[in-house]
């Protein structure tokens, strides 16, 4: 695995299998994780004392570790339950040697436990990394979850994790106030979420490319995507479907 320094100084990697970086090298691995996933997730759930998060997919672990970092700084009283499916067990096992930034130094024990045993638990934090196909994990998972970090490789190279049927499983797992955060702004992605009952919002700001938040509830702080208008302007738009993958 080749590690690559991204523009904010944090490291990501390049996957030759998917021919893609694990993060936007321009936005930066840490910056992308915080801006596109962690900050909006905590903003939407700022009053919750226990947060249940699905992290699709664990990859280099940035989203899970940045969640711990952000919680410890801004929401130290919030307890976390994180489940994260990931196909690549060898990658997860290798993460003890990954060049994480100094701010993740307090999580060395957690990184070791996740890479060696696939789970970690203390009074405030429970994390389970499941080495499995996220499609199967989402079908089998039960309960009501607050957040889903939708961070698979892109829809063109990893389409099975962007279909209408996949998002139906995600929708079933999201509670009344559940939010899905994703870097994808593709109309097909937004449509697949919309067809599963989500409202769509634009997550934009300085220092990162715009992203999407999908929510079961109406979100005041974010600008809504007018899906009716988009669909009138793009009458041929379709979401990805499982049967188109065969
Ligand atoms: C963009 S990377 C995830 C980056 C990660 N969220 C992070 O913060 O470092 C995509 C990951 O999805 C994994 N993956 C691809 N297809 C999968 C599937 N069907 N089930 C589980 N993991 C999958 C890849 O092995 C890769 O690690």
Q: Is the CB of 239 under 6 A from ligand 1?
A: no
Structural domain contains residue 17? no
Structural domain contains residue 3? no
Structural domain contains residue 107? yes
**Number of independent structural domains in the chain:** 1
Q: Kindly report, residue by residue over 68-119, the tens digit of the pLDDT.
A: 999 999 999 999 999 999 999 999 999 999 999 999 999 999 999 999 999 9
Q: Is the CB of 134 under 6 A from ligand 1?
A: yes
CATH number at residue 177: 3.40.50.150
Ligand 1 pocket test target in 87, 94, 139 with most atoms within 8 Å of CB: 87
Ligand 1 pocket test target in 4, 54, 69, 86 with most atoms within 8 Å of CB: 86
Structural domain contains residue 67? yes
| CA–CA dist 135, 166 (Å, integer) | 7
Does the pLDDT of residue 1 top 90, yes or no?
no
What DSSP string runs through 190-238? HHHHHTTT-EEEEEEETTEEEEEEEESS--SSSEEP-HHHHHHH-TT--
Structural domain contains residue 122? yes
- Is residue 36 helix, strand or coil? helix
- Is residue 55 helix, strand or coil? strand
| CA–CA dist 199, 202 (Å, integer) | 10
Structural domain contains residue 211? yes
56 Cα nearest atom in ligand 1: 6
Structural domain contains residue 62? yes
Q: Is the CB of 22 under 6 A from ligand 1?
A: yes
Which residue, judged by its Cα, is nearest atom 4 of ligand 1? 59
Does the pLDDT of residue 203 top 80, yes or no?
yes
Confidence of residue 172 (pLDDT cuts 50, 70, 90): very high
Confidence of residue 246 (pLDDT cuts 50, 70, 90): confident
59 Cα nearest atom in ligand 1: 27
Which pLDDT score is estimated for 2?
82
Structural domain contains residue 155? yes
Strand 20-21: give its sheet, edge to edge: 2-5, 11-15, 20-21
- Whole domain around residue 176: which residue ranges? 31-244
66 Cα nearest atom in ligand 1: 8
């Amino acid at each position: 695995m080749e590690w690559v320094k991204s523009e904010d100084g944090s490291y990501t990697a390049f996957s030759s299998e998917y021919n893609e970086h694990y993060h936007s090298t321009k936005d930066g691995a840490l910056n992308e994780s915080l801006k596109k996933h962690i900050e909006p997730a905590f903003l939407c759930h700022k009053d919750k004392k226990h947060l249940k998060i699905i992290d699709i997919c664990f990859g280099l672990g940035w989203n899970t570790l940045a969640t711990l970092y952000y919680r410890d700084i801004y929401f130290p009283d919030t307890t976390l339950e994180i489940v994260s499916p990931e196909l690549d067990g060898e990658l997860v096992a290798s993460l003890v040697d990954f060049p994480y930034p100094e701010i993740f130094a307090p999580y060395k024990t957690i990184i070791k436990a996740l890479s060696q045993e696939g789970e970690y638990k203390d009074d405030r934090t429970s994390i389970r990394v499941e080495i499995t196909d996220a499609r199967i994990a989402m079908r089998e998972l039960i309960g009501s979850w607050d957040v889903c970090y939708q961070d698979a490789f892109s829809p063109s190279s990893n389409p099975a994790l962007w279909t209408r049927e996949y998002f139906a499983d995600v929708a079933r797992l999201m509670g009344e106030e559940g939010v899905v955060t994703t870097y994808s702004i593709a109309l097909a992605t937004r449509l697949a979420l919309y067809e599963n009952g989500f409202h769509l919002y634009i997550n934009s700001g300085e220092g990162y490319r715009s992203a999407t938040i999908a929510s079961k509830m109406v979100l005041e702080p974010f600008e809504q995507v007018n899906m009716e208008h988009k669909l009138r302007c793009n009458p041929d738009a379709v979401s990805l479907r499982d049967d188109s993958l065969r």
